[in-house]
Structure 1
Amino acid sequence: MKTIDCRDMPCPRPVLETRKQLLASPENSLTVLVSNDIAQANITRLANKQGFSVAATVTDNEITLIIKPSTQAIVAPDSPFGAAATTGGDTIVYISSSSMGAGSDELGEVLMRNFIFTLAQTEDYPTSILFVNSGVKLTCDQSTVLEPLQLLADNGVTICSCGLCLEFFNLQDQLKVGQISNMLETVEAMQQAGRIIQP
């Protein structure tokens, strides 16, 4: 039985690593080590949704999860809300800020980084990602998400950064991934989209 140690991994890495192993070897049992209740709950929910059973053993600062396949294990990309609705047209991710949500900017930057990292780990890639306003900072030099964005681009995702926004932040010479776009292209992409995701 394979064991993966996710104790020192920040969210959402434990669930992503577990998902990767379950998809790669759905017929095998898996042991996952985590250090907190949130990781335990996320992994348990993922495994149960795909038809696996999970047994947990809690010791001092460690939770051991034993994940076992069942005859009804579902080996398919998962959706946190059950079966994804099918829609016609492209899927567009629209990022209008370098952080996610309102409240703490520091937390928002961590959440946005985790969102992009997680998006790059899924197999259901969007057609394109549109960056506007301070969101363009994520595609430029010194960004902490250049690697997952490049992975997305390498897998056929079109990465577009608003040219006016790059000029406003004086970043037009610092673009590292994707292409410069304009508002007409942004509007047309959104009009033709079957689904728009805005984190």
Structure 2
Amino acid sequence: MASSSAPSSAQKPTAYDFTLPALSGSSAAGPSGTRQEEKIDLSRWRGRPLLIVNTASRCGFTPQYEALEALWQSQAKDSDGLVVIGVPSNDFGAQELDTPGEIASFCQARYSVTFPLAARSHVRGPQAVPLYRWLAGQAGFLGRPRWNFHKYLIGRDGRLQDWFLPSTTPSAPRLQRAIRRALQPPPPARAR
């Protein structure tokens, strides 16, 4: 089972306070020589909007990978652009492949995915990784994932801006409008 870490600060957490286990599953030696699992640290994109999507390789919505990759490619070169993050999950219909290598190979071979992918993770219920428990709390009951390819849009402030059902494709006008709003520069600070 994949794990991720939750924020430890006393302040209200934002999405940037979370990490996810990386899909590669490889380990790197830490400063003390101990082995540490690779992580996707969302803080590295602080100030950038995030589109977080729970994915699966054998789902009717799986072709959305192509549009997610196109969205990522259109934004990746912009240091201020949208970051797409896939979170493979087997929580709905057991539609995800078993190993990190199988998931990575499938995503690369079929859809040329280059956006960050987390390790296979739980995204619902008490076993959900901390990021998804936080997202569920922010979105409320109706905003919790009920199937693969549920989408969460995080604004530049790290707060949940909106959520989208799996049937909302990455190219859907409603999602595209929300992404354009999320990409707007923050308003200038007011002088006091």
- TM-score, structure 2 normalization: 0.30
- Select the structure that is richer in helix: 1
Bigger radius of gyration among the two: 1
- Select the structure that is richer in strand: 1
For CA contacts below 8 A with separation 6 or more, give which structure has more relative contact order: 2
